[in-house]
Amino acid sequence: MEINVLLFGQLSESIGKSSLKLTGISTTDELKIRLQQQFPGLEKMTYSIAVNKQIIQKNTPLNSGDEVALLPPFSGG
């Protein structure tokens, strides 16, 4: 199972990439843990998660081919 992770703004700058392909992850909670292990700087950052262009508020199952976006806080008006 492979998912595509897109990173934006300060998140992308922090790890030096705008996208990642990851395998062996079945939920968004597992994704957060894996990313924080690989990129410890993410642990201190605030971000929202969108799965297939829908912002989620709780742990969500992931399927092969899903697109997950990590979105920095929004501002503006």
Q: What residue spans define the domains of the chain? A: 2-71
Mean pLDDT by 10 residues, the chain (77 residues): 95 93 97 95 92 97 98 76
Scan for tokens 């597992």, then name that residue: 30
| Cα 25 to chain centroid, rounded | 12
Is 3.10.20.30 the CATH classification of the domain at 2-71? yes
pLDDT of residue 77: 54
17, 35 contact by CB (below 8 A): no
